[in-house]
Amino acid sequence: MKFIPKSGEKEIISFRLPKDLLTQIDQLASKNSLSRNEFMIQCLEYAIDNIAEK
């Protein structure tokens, strides 16, 4: 049986961020021993879970 790497249910996207925001993200991700990607996913999930309803 061959090993076939899979990416799961994630999709690749791209968006632009201000340089100072990206610097903050990288610093916080590193401080918490997370990749930039995992840190951003957790931030987005938190924001969605805690968004104020109109």
How high is the pLDDT of residue 24? 97
Task: State the pLDDT at residue 7.
Answer: 60
pLDDT of residue 13: 92
Residue type at 39 in one-letter notation: F
Low-confidence ranges of the chain (pLDDT < 50): none
What is the value of pTM for the model shown?
A: 0.76
Closest CA to 41 of 1, 12, 4, 5: 12
pLDDT for position 4: 65
pLDDT at res. 30: 95
Domain locations in the chain as residue ranges? 19-49
* Type of residue numbered 16: R
DSSP for the chain, written as a single string: -------TT---------HHHHHHHHHHHHHTT--HHHHHHHHHHHHHHTPPP-
